[in-house]
Structure formats: structure tokens, C-alpha cells
Amino acid sequence: MPSRKLKEYLDQNNVKYVTIKHSVAYTSQEIAASAHIKGKDLAKTVLVKINGRMAMCVLPASCKVDFEQLKKAIGNQNIRLANEMEFKDKFPECEVGAMPPFGNLYNIDVYVAESLKDDEQIAFNAGTHTELIQMAFSDFMNLVKPVMVKFSFPTKL
């Protein structure tokens, strides 16, 4: 079942969404394959620390964070990848690594890769390693109000 906090938030805001169940998967590419979604159509959440404060970077599963681009885009040189010990307790109702990209529910800033703006729909982890939520990208933007910046590049398979 999706994170109760997320589901309640979506329902309270009358957002239409679909829950997609898939076999257990941990990496974004495994999740995309298991759910039969293209990697570019699945949004993954990467947690970073900016000046010691947790932030979310949301980008296509088929991409990686370009930290130099991110530093330039937000004008901050003190950015690094967060480690699991730093964030595992911040999302108590979620399985570690399966948090949805709704930083607004956890008092965490959210940065969205510009490359996602071309997607009509966004699919993302729903708090477990077996479920995704798929919803309109415009609804996601309206609810989360993330900062959209260019900070990702495609991975080579």
C-alpha cells in the first residue's frame, strides 16, 4: 500500500492517480523494467545535502545527477549525495530508498530536472519497493512546488 501520508495528501487534494504494483525491485532501472515503464518515464528521488540540509533531486530513472550543473543552477558549492544513515529516519512510513518525491510532506526542498517537464505523466515510488504512483506531472508540480533546474544527464546502458 502506498505511504498513507502520501495517499491521504493526494486524496485531500482531489488528485487523480493510479497505483502500479510490481515485483520487488530496488534500483530505478529494475523498477521501470518490473513495472513495464520506460526509464525516462519513471522519476527517481535522489537525496542530497545542500549546506548540511537535506534536499530531494527528482529526475528520470534513466539519468544521473550532474552535481556541477546542480551547483551552478542553484548557486551553491556545498552539495553532496546524502547517505542512507542521514535520511532513513526522515520517512518513517516508507521503506528505505522508496520515498516519494513529495519533499513538501517532510519539510525538504525539492529540485526537479527540467527534462521531466516534457512528460505528461510522472510515476514514482509510493513508499514501498513494490508500488508506484502515476499521476499528471502538472498535478505533481502544483502540489510539490519544486524548483525546476537543469541538473541531469542520461546514463549509458
Over residues 98-117, the pLDDT tens digits come to 999 999 999 999 999 998 98
Three-state secondary structure string covering the chain: CCCHHHHHHHHHCCCCEEEEECCCCCCHHHHHHHCCCCHHHEEEEEEEEECCEEEEEEEECCEEECHHHHHHHHCCCCEEECCHHHHCCCCCCCCCCCCCCCHHHCCCEEEEEHHHHHCCEEEEECCCCCEEEEEEHHHHHHHHCCEEECCEEECCC
Of 106 and 22, the one with more pLDDT: 106
CB 70 within 8 A of CB 151: yes
Over 60: is that where the pLDDT of 1 sits?
no
Average pLDDT of the chain is 90
CB 103 within 8 A of CB 15: no
Q: Any idea which of 106-115, 116-125, 142-151 has the lowest mean pLDDT?
A: 116-125
Over 80: is that where the pLDDT of 36 sits?
no
Nearest to 16, CA basis, from 150, 149, 133: 133
Instruction: Give the integer Cα–Cα distance in Å for 77 and 83.
Output: 18
pLDDT in tens, 53-67: 999 999 998 899 999
What cell does 61 get? 530513472
Instruction: Give the integer Cα–Cα distance in Å for 47 and 60.
Output: 14
- Which pairs from 7-15 meet CB under 8 Å and 24+ separation? 7/126, 9/102, 9/105, 9/143, 10/133, 10/135, 10/143, 13/139, 13/143, 15/135, 15/136, 15/139, 15/143
Over 70: is that where the pLDDT of 122 sits?
yes
Over 80: is that where the pLDDT of 39 sits?
no
Domain edges within the chain: 4-151
Q: Name the architecture of domain 4-151.
A: Alpha-Beta Complex (3.90)
